[in-house]
Chain A
């Protein structure tokens, strides 16, 4: 029954959006023309390209580090097994708000708040990182063995030492995994916030699109793919170093 309803809705949605075979064929035609314009890629303005990529990389790394630094204390506050409800509630609320919006929407807000440029991008991705890392960290902390924490507490250790000896060793390797995943995600997002003026290669890409410089667009896209691959190799290396 549920499946039937879903099928009916699917057909209804298709008809509402006027997705007819004719429209699809027309789309294919546009696509073909676009592809021919993309190639060959034009790397003439490599200085502009490099500047954008560098800015994106900087935004991603700075935002990841800041996000990590903010997420650690906030996730400790949000962990229900360590903190009373009146502390976890506000901390969770902050993270939910940070996670509610797509990074691009947060970037638009920050562009309005602090003006165009990389600062807005850094702030936007920091907020997004807090929302995401904070949630993952909190869940990891809530899964730890409290017996180990209890033993450290029984030695008369002050709270911060209990964290250092009873909690962090249990979650450290998972945190490294999450943080490298977030860096990866920030690398991708940092290429996008530029579209709304928050710095990085996205701005260059958007400008090229609007000027119909499709061969330059192609060069930018290829470079972004290259950067993401390099980033992946780096984060994998980072994981290996810390797992050892």
Chain B
């Protein structure tokens, strides 16, 4: 495809994941992710979008295949090297996954946990530079006033902003987002996607975003990957995603007419 001008930030080769032996959810995925822009992954529920994203940082163990990041195959790293690799991969979740009983500030700082020793983490002793950066990030996402509120006191959109700040706090080289807007209303969804696009653009961090909403994918992604039945069935620019492809990805066509059924 035409977007391969920049060197790949991530290369996935023949990735297979089978939760049950012989019934693969992902059936040999091969993808190169460029070093900038947002790659949206679309596809019907249960087709393995979440599994694909979670295989990259091995929150789910891949069954076979390679995931090349920063010159190393993540799929075969030992625990220690895996932790070092995870530090460079920020992740944003559908249900925000903030630690509810900690403050907003503590949640953002937890993005640095891969860099501070457990001893200092227990004592909540982060370097001054991290604390400064956390405040700067909170200002960027517009939550300075809530820095010392508990995470469970925030609204959905605010929590996802904290989630994004936590991911960026890692100074990642790759950003993963698993359905970041699926728990949010349409207006907030657009705000969150705008924030993700702007921040990953400003910092030059490539992002892979699972997304249900095809319109949001078209609007914010620089590239769309369509998954169906555990395989890539579309890979291209947003304006190349025609109804023919959508039918192929989601199956059927009555849902495209807009009168519901």
Chain A interface residues (CB < 8 Å from chain B):
145, 147-148, 150-162, 164-166, 169-170, 172-173
Contact = CB atoms under 8 A, between A and B. Distances in A.
Contact of A165 (B83, B89, B110): B110
7 contacts: A148-B97, A155-B86, A155-B112, A158-B83, A160-B121, A165-B106, A170-B100
Contact of A147 (B89, B93, B101): B93
Contacts of B97: 147-148, 150-151
Contacts of B99: 148, 151-152, 165-166, 169-170
Contacts of A155: 86-87, 91, 110-114, 166, 170
Nearest to B87: A156
A157 B106 CA distance: 14
B192 interface: no
A164 B121 CA distance: 7
A88 to B, nearest CB: 19
Contacts of B101: 169-170, 172-173
Interface of B: 57, 59, 83-89, 91, 93, 95, 97-102, 106, 110-114, 116-118, 121-122, 163, 166, 170
B118 A161 contact: yes
Given A156-B114, A156-B170, A164 B86 contact: no
A166 B101 CA distance: 10
Task: Pick the 8 closest A-B CB pairs, nearest first.
Answer: A156-B114, A156-B86, A157-B113, A156-B87, A160-B118, A151-B97, A161-B121, A169-B101
Given A151-B97, A152-B113, A158 B102 contact: no
Given A150-B59, A154-B57, A164 B111 contact: no
Contacts of A156: 83-89, 113-114, 170
A170 B100 CA distance: 8
Contacts of B93: 147, 150-151
A120 B106 CA distance: 43
Contacts of A147: 93, 95, 97
Contact of A154 (B91, B100, B102): B91
Contacts of B113: 152, 155-158, 161-162, 165
Contact of B114 (A157, A169, A173): A157
A160 B113 CA distance: 10
A148 B170 CA distance: 17
B86 A152 contact: no
Contacts of B102: 165, 169
Contact of A160 (B59, B111, B122): B122
A166 B97 CA distance: 10
A154 B118 contact: no
Given A147-B93, A154-B57, A156-B113, A164 B118 contact: yes
B122 A164 contact: yes
Contacts of B86: 153-156
B57 A148 contact: no
B106 to A, nearest CB: 8
Given A151-B163, A153-B86, 7 more contacts: A147-B97, A151-B97, A153-B59, A154-B91, A157-B83, A170-B101, A173-B101
A31 to B, nearest CB: 52
A151 B57 contact: no
A165 B122 CA distance: 8
A156 B122 CA distance: 16
A86 B169 CA distance: 36
A157 B109 CA distance: 12
Q: Among A151, A154, A166, find the residue whose CB has the most chain B CB atoms closer than 10 A.
A: A154
Among B99, B116, B118, residue most surrounded by chain A Cβ atoms (within 10 Å) = B99
A51 to B, nearest CB: 40
A164 B97 CA distance: 16
A160 B101 CA distance: 18
